Amino acid sequence: MPRDEERRKRLQEMLSAATFAPDAAISVLDVGGGYGVVTEEALRAFPRARVVLQDYSRPMLDEAQRRLVQYADKVGYIRCDLRDPSWPDLVGGPFDLAVSAIAIHNLGELAAMAACYRGIARVLKPGALFLDYDLF
């Protein structure tokens, strides 16, 4: 199976763990969303969702905007650094769902990753979900 197809299958499996109805109008945060493939799969799974895609890299956000042009009315883009303690204040929320894939481990240090997870918890609604496909 080609790499992109395999990754999409894993993301679809991850998103299938979300307990929302497919037609739910949920708010989603894509943490370290990069070029937008996780956001794209989230919008395929939940077509009425609104997504905030967060990433540190301007080139990645630019690529995500090109990839997700058909979803322009459903996606917002926030450039901020997950190492900055104020990042949760910049992304908005609260969110029904936070997702991330192959991103948080790039923070490198356990303390930075733990701080990121605490930041995610801060922007979630009570009872919200966080789905993370990452390397450990």
CATH value at residue 82: 3.40.50.150
Strands (E), the chain: 27-31, 50-55, 75-79, 95-101, 124-133
Distance CA 57, CA 78 (A): 10
Instruction: Give the number of domains in the chain.
Output: 1
pLDDT of residue 1: 43
Query: Which residue range(s) make up the domain with 30?
Result: 3-133
Question: Rounded to two decimals, what is the model's pTM?
Answer: 0.93
Digitized pLDDT (tens) for each residue of the chain, 136 residues in all: 457 788 888 888 889 999 899 999 999 999 999 999 999 999 999 999 999 999 999 999 999 999 999 999 999 999 999 999 999 999 999 999 999 998 888 898 999 999 999 999 999 999 999 999 886 6
Please tell me the distance from the alpha carbon of residue 71 to that of residue 127, in angstroms, as a whole number: 27
State the CB neighbour count (10 A cutoff) for residue 29: 29
